[in-house]
Amino acid sequence: MIHLRIVAPEDVAHQALARLADSDAVLNIVHLHGAAQKPDGDVILCDVAREEASVILGDLKELDIPRVGSIAVEHIETSLSDRAEAAEKAAPGLPSDAVVWEEVEQHTSENTELSISFVAFMVLAMQIGMVGILFDEPILIVGAMVVGPEFGPLAGLSVALVQRRGDLARRSLKALAVGFPAGVVLAFAAAVFFKATGLSPEDFNTAAHQHTGFISNPDFFSFYVAFVAGIAGMLSLTNAKSGALIGVLISVTTIPAASNVGVAAAYGDWGRAGGAAGQLGINLSSIVLAGVLTLLVQRRAFLVRKRRHARERA
């Protein structure tokens, strides 16, 4: 279930109440007349079946409530109510498959900001990946994948392409365009420093990687794994299953590939650097492609439901 807190002027609030009362997927409607300040208005509280949340939010946005008031969305972890069960049965589909599009837009917008912390995580992740490559340690490679925050802008870019939002696309591309070069440059600098000071393994060879050589050798499965992981990542984002997202981060080699570009360049192996750059490009493009296709399918199902809701209301 989803809990809504709505603040709106009195006349708009009464229109919202009428629309909420008309839906079998809405329950526990509470109207507090004149209870809100900044902005002044009425407060409406209600619970909505997750499957119907975006449809109901669409009705409320048609009343221009986000401009004249506000709508807050919260998750209800536990609800003991026969009426709540009836509301979920009245809403078509299953809660686990439902997508709250406003929530997806909010999360992706938050995760695409180019901030100091984003660049710091990119740099730190590539430092871990760089050490993993120097010592041929798969555990460090996995650690670098988990630390890397690059999936946020990739998901944001997918959402931007589906919804044709130029502002979100620009923010996502800007974060990627700054984060990856910064990480690669500092991975290169660290590898040069470790090489010059003798801290790197004496027998290190950019071509001899028993456990991590796949990072700079892209093939069909590089695309396939990234594409499948991109679908899983988008599903985990739209369905709020963060546990699956961790698995996605471990599945793709974006951060290790970028790290290897710096390491190979530090040792003058431009062939390996090019291979790692190719691996990075394949992973990034495959994740975005998978994200766009997944969102298009989910968006299509939502639009069908929204049109059906409009017919029923008419």
pTM to 2 decimal places: 0.84
Which tokens go with 115?
């901030």
Q: What is the pLDDT of residues 164-189, one digit of tens each?
A: 899 999 999 999 999 999 999 999 99
Task: Please determine, for residue 225, whether its predicted confidence score (pLDDT) is greater than 80.
Answer: yes
Q: How far apart are CA 226 and CA 145, in angstroms?
A: 13
With 60 as the cut, is the pLDDT of residue 241 above it?
no
Helix (H) or strand (E) holding 138: helix 138-147
Q: What percent of the chain has pLDDT over 90?
A: 58
Q: pLDDT at position 248, please?
A: 62
pLDDT on residue 119:
96
- Least confident span in 38-42, 94-98, 105-109, 214-218: 94-98
Q: Tens digits of per-residue pLDDT, 54-69?
A: 999 999 999 999 999 9
pLDDT the model gives residue 258: 95
Band (pLDDT 50/70/90 cuts) for residue 244 is low
CA angle 13, 19, 25 (to 5 degrees): 125
Query: Which of the four pLDDT bands, split at 50, 70 and 90, describes residue 208?
Result: confident
- The overall average pLDDT reported for the chain is 89
pLDDT at 213: 73
What is the C-alpha separation between 308 and 314, in angstroms, rounded? 10
Q: What are phi and psi of 78, to 5 degrees?
A: -135, 130
pLDDT of residue 31 exceeding 90, the answer is yes
Poorest-confidence range of 179-188, 232-241, 296-305?
A: 232-241
Flag whether pLDDT at 242 surpasses 60.
no
Q: How far is CA 105 from CA 231, 237, 289, in A?
A: 17, 10, 18
Q: Is the pLDDT of residue 216 over 60?
A: yes
Residue 211 has pLDDT above 70, yes or no: no
